Chains A and B, each alone.
Chain A
Amino acid sequence: MPEAEFSLDSVSVLLVWTAIAIYALAFVAYAVDLARRSDLAVKAKDAAPVRELVAAGGSTISRVRAQEDAALAAVEARPGARPRYIWARIGTSLTVLGFLFHVGADITRGIAAGRVPWSNMYEFALTGTMLIIAVYLFVLLKYDLRFLGTFITGLVTVLLGATAIWFYTIVVPLSDPLKSVWLVIHVFVASLATALFALAFALSVTQLLQARRERLAVAADEASTTGDEVAVAGAGAAGAAGAAGKTGKTGPRFLRTLPSSDALESLAYRFAIIGFIFWTFTLIAGSIWANDAWGRYWGFDTKEVWTFVIWVLYAGYIHARATRGWRGTRSAWLSIVGFAAVMFNFTIVNMFFKGLHVYSGLS
């Protein structure tokens, strides 16, 4: 029934666009949340008794640390006990709604095609972005990572929009090499790994921002103690605030509601290692499939090369965490480079590199 299939597929397309629109709204809500969080953070600081600040040592860095500890407790709090950021709630609700449309789009596409909806570039992007949202929403149950909402919804809006505009392909039957159980396993697990790497990437970026803020806070303290010796303990808080004002910006203000760079790094690491396991599995499953389909388990096909490069980059990231001088900022950069390679592998390699993984369905 080609006609019926066509209409079901057009329903899918409609659902995709609805999901994109809702994700865009969620992005706006999350962005408003980040902006308002800064205000909330400022108000909280003003409301905090000066006594506490003095007790905390009065220096900029100890104030930063106190904020970060509170933020970490909030991140690890159970869903019921989290700070009531109204715009973040709106953002999350919209994300869930968009996700439902997204799932609907994915399922209708799968039914229209009569197979798993991830066997060409369009379907792979459709399912991959859906898994990014799914993993994000799942993680929210354990950690309050709503501060990544702008990144996640922004990324998915852009990817899904680009997918709908440029990658759309009509449903065609599977080519023979794709008729394999490994299509279900290999591609799905690769998508899951991508989703986890995306979260790790976002956390690594915030880690870098937070590390910069911490560095500037320490620098501000040093400047105030060396340059302003008259500042006595009692006036410490005011002195530090003045110093922070003098040194200028320490990054976006929403950083005040985020945990320490160490805590962010440790969170990023947790997602990255799960992603790494999935990626390793993807590599092995892909080799088994390649051995059946192409007659060799490994042949340095362009896609294989990039899968290998990404694997090695994340292996490097995991080692960097155990290497003197590489923990912290440098390892965060490895996580960022790793995810950049994942995105490169998915977009540029699929579209422009010649190789055996020619299933994008684009011509």
Chain B
Amino acid sequence: MDLMKVNKRAVMTNEALQNLIGSWIPELEFTEEDSQYLNITVQPENLHQLMSQLKSDSETNFDYLFCVTGMDWGAALGVIYHLESTTHRHSIVVKVKTEDRENPTLDTVSNIWKTADFHEREVFDFFGIKFNNHPNLKRLFLTDEWEGFPLRKDYVDEVNMIIK
């Protein structure tokens, strides 16, 4: 029994993580290319289920969401989540993309990690990605009257932006 407990506390290798998480949702894509972490790409409809399971499952226990990055990949908009487990000390990256640039919408994870509340507002402010069920989705840094989303690649501001 004790030995099993010790094993459960151990850091999971990326391969073990991939096998476990892959068994939850079949459509996930895994890659370790060009990154120091294991990267998971998830479809928007599976995002909330995956994220809540990543936190609640005792083997993964990703309780620390340390970075939320909005991304504009050109064709797609999306979010990159960096997760770490404070008990097992393993890390993982989850990516979610949406092709809809007019009305991009993803599910919130602020009900899983409280820090996501502010981080998602930042992503909304700069990328215009809306988060379903977010408790207080409004601009965080910019004024409410601001037009456009400055960190998108197609954002134009001829007065204030210096393009080299």
Do A and B interact with each other, yes or no? no
Q: CB within 8 Å of B: which residues of A?
A: none
A-binding residues in B (CB < 8 A): none
